């Protein structure tokens, strides 16, 4: 019975002896080492044979039984029709049958023993050891007490082969040895010393060949089953990995679209509202607001066009560098100031040689934090601090707007900032300040996990 083992490396006693000394861990096991074979004679997985297989086994056993009965009957008939002639010209049974067999009249018990040898083969795949025992006993008894030649010794060989296909190596060789000893014990009294050794070698060799073929077949089937199982698992893993990558890419695109559109549309909404209020009493201020709207919308359209070019695979329209980097931080601050929020920028350390993944993530976090300041904080001032350290960059955005009571509700923007920091193996925190205002802070490693992607 082939049973897959979980945690096989921790329980090596259940493995066949030839695999226990390999010292391999579970993830490196060969297809053979992922299986063990039960040594009990309980019905194996093949016990759940379909009706077709059961009928096939029964017909196979019946055909062999009929063939053996026919052989017993026709052997006597042959010599009845062709008796030896006095002049020695007729067939001599001693010569035809190898000089060791006497011709006997078939008796009912010969047919009974032949039937007991072959008929149990109908159940050979359900109870292989019991069938082997019954066939061996019947065949050996027939050979011991009858001299009429027949094919009864084929029955235990077929049964032994079946044991080899369904039991482990140790079991099949113990069964083969037991069958050989029983058969030899019944052969010894009727053989002369001159023929004893040759007969024992012949019987032992046939049992060994049957056991070896069964064991090889079992190993081959176990190997094929394990290879098919691993192929199926690999296919499932590939599908799951593909689904995961598609989901990650979908979330990344959604985050990028949110960062681009939320910031730009928020500034456009603020500028449009300001222009509407001052269009009559201060046309110049309204004109500046409209100009800020034009520049903001153009920049947003450029970023969207570049992003869509990447998604379409259009190499000509795809940007040569990631959109939204810290080198454009001054323009970002200027657009926020045009919306009515004074922004102070505090940069410590060199930012020009930042890795692209950290550069883009830091810019997007600052962009989203300032967007939230414009949309939700009702703030007049905001401070952006960037500090380059040896193996990380610190990003901090604070404002003097109204403090929110309780735990702030985390929307798409806040979740996007948190995901960007987590993707690099960094940290992210956001919350109200004790004296009023709100603070967003993130630490982005410069050796983040995204570098490997």
Among 278-292, 348-362, 435-449, which is the least confidently predicted range? Answer: 278-292
What whole-number distance in Å separates Cα of residue 289 and Cα of residue 215?
86
CB neighbour list of residue 371: distance below 8 Å, 6 or more residues apart = 262, 263, 266, 267, 413
Q: How confident is the model at residue 314 (pLDDT cuts 50, 70, 90)?
A: low
The rounded percent of the chain whose pLDDT value lies above 70 is 71
Average pLDDT in the 171-195 region? 85
Query: Is 306 in a helix, a strand, or coil?
Result: helix
In sequence order, what DSSP letters do the residues of 31-67 get, joined into one string? Answer: TGGGEEE--S-S--GGGG--HHHHHHHHHHHHHHHHH
Q: Does pLDDT of 452 surpass 60? A: no
In sequence order, what DSSP letters do the residues of 357-372 get, joined into one string? Answer: HHHHHHHHHHHHHHHH
**End-to-end C-alpha distance for the chain, whole angstroms:** 45
Query: Is 280 in a helix, a strand, or coil?
Result: coil
CB 119 within 8 A of CB 62: yes
Residue 305: CB atoms within 10 Å? 14
pLDDT at 149: 65
The rounded percent of the chain whose pLDDT value lies above 90 is 17
Q: Does pLDDT of 267 surpass 60? A: yes
pLDDT at 11: 36
Tell me the torsion sign for CA atoms 206, 212, 216, 217.
positive
pLDDT at 43: 38
Q: How confident is the model at residue 334 (pLDDT cuts 50, 70, 90)?
A: confident
Q: Is the model more confident about 62 or about 6? A: 62
Among 89-93, 225-229, 348-352, 423-427, which is the least confidently predicted range? Answer: 89-93
Domains and CATH numbers, the chain: 2-236 (no CATH), 339-453 (3.30.565.10)
What whole-number distance in Å separates Cα of residue 44 and Cα of residue 50?
14
SS3 of 380-424: the string is: CEEEEEEEECCCEEEEEEEECCCCCCCCCCCCHHHHHHHHHHHHC
DSSP letter for 87, please. Answer: T
CB 163 within 8 A of CB 127: no
What whole-number distance in Å separates Cα of residue 420 and Cα of residue 432?
21
pLDDT at 29: 42
Q: How confident is the model at residue 208 (pLDDT cuts 50, 70, 90)?
A: very high
Q: Is the model more confident about 339 or about 227? A: 227
Identify any residues that bridge with 386 across adjacent strands, giving them in sequence order.
347, 395
Average pLDDT in the 412-429 region? 85
pLDDT at 42: 37
Average pLDDT in the 61-68 region? 90
Average pLDDT in the 207-229 region? 90
Tell me the torsion sign for CA atoms 360, 361, 366, 370.
positive
Among 28-37, 128-137, 196-205, 277-286, which is the least confidently predicted range? Answer: 28-37
Nearest Cα to 401, choosing from 433, 430, 428, 429? 433
What average pLDDT does the chain have? 75
CA atoms within 13 A of residue 413's CA, in its CB half-sphere: 22
In this prediction the pTM is 0.46
What whole-number distance in Å separates Cα of residue 317 and Cα of residue 331?
23
Nearest Cα to 325, choosing from 347, 357, 350, 348? 357
φ/ψ of 386, rounded to 5, equals: -125, 125
Average pLDDT in the 254-261 region? 69
Q: How confident is the model at residue 120 (pLDDT cuts 50, 70, 90)?
A: very high
Longest dimension (CA), the chain: 147
Which contiguous run of DSSP H or E holds residue 348?
strand 342-348
Report which listed range, 56-65, 329-338, 407-416, is most confident.
56-65
User: Which tens digit of pLDDT belongs to each residue from 336-359?
Assistant: 887 788 899 999 888 888 888 788
What whole-number distance in Å separates Cα of residue 153 and Cα of residue 199?
13
Identify any residues that bridge with 397 across adjacent strands, giving them in sequence order.
384, 440
């Amino acid at each position: 019975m082939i049973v897959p083992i979980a945690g096989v490396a921790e329980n090596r006693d259940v493995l066949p002896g030839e695999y226990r000394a390999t010292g391999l861990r579970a993830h490196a096991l060969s297809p053979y080492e992922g299986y063990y074979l039960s040594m009990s004679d309980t019905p194996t997985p093949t016990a759940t044979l379909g009706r077709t297989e059961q009928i096939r086994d029964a017909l196979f056993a019946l055909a062999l039984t009929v063939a053996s009965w026919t052989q017993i009957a026709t052997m006597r008939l042959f010599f009845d029709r062709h008796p030896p002639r006095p002049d020695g010209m007729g067939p001599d049974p001693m010569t035809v049958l190898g000089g060791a067999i006497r011709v006997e009249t078939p008796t009912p018990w010969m047919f009974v023993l032949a039937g007991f040898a072959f008929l149990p083969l109908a159940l050979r795949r359900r109870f292989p050891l019991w069938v082997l025992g019954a066939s061996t006993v019947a065949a050996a008894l027939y050979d011991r007490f009858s001299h009429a030649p027949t094919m009864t010794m084929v029955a235990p060989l077929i049964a032994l082969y079946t044991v080899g296909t369904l039991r482990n190596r140790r079991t099949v060789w113990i069964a083969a040895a037991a069958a050989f000893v029983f058969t030899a014990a019944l052969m010894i009294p009727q053989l002369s010393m001159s023929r004893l050794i040759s007969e024992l070698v012949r019987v032992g060799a046939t049992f060994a060949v049957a056991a070896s073929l069964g064991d090889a077949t079992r190993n081959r089937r176990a190997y094929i089953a394990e290879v098919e199982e691993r192929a199926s698992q690999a296919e499932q893993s590939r599908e799951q990995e593909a689904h995961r990558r598609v989901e990650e890419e979908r979330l990344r695109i959604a985050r990028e679209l949110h960062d681009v559109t939320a910031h730009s549309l928020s500034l456009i909404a603020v500028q449009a509202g300001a222009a509407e209020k001052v269009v009559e009493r201060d046309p110049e201020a309204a004109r500046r607001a409209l100009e800020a709207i034009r520049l903001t919308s153009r920049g947003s359209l450029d970023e969207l066009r570049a992003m869509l070019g990447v998604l379409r695979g259009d190499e000509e329209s795809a940007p040569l560098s990631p959109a939204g980097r810290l080198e454009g931080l001054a323009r970002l601050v200027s657009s926020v100031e045009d919306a009515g929020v004074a922004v102070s920028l505090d940069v410590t350390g060199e930012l020009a040689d930042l890795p692209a993944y950290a550069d883009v993530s830091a810019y997007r976090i600052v962009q989203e934090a300032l967007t939230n300041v414009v949309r939700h904080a009702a703030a007049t001032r905001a401070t952006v601090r960037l500090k380059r350290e040896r193996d990380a960059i610190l990003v901090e955005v604070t404002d003097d707007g109204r403090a929110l009571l309780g735990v702030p509700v985390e929307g798409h923007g806040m979740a996007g900032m948190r995901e960007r920091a987590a993707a690099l193996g960094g940290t992210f925190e956001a919350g109200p300040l004790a004296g009023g205002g709100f603070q967003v802070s993130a630490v982005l490693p410069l050796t983040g996990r995204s570098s490997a992607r």
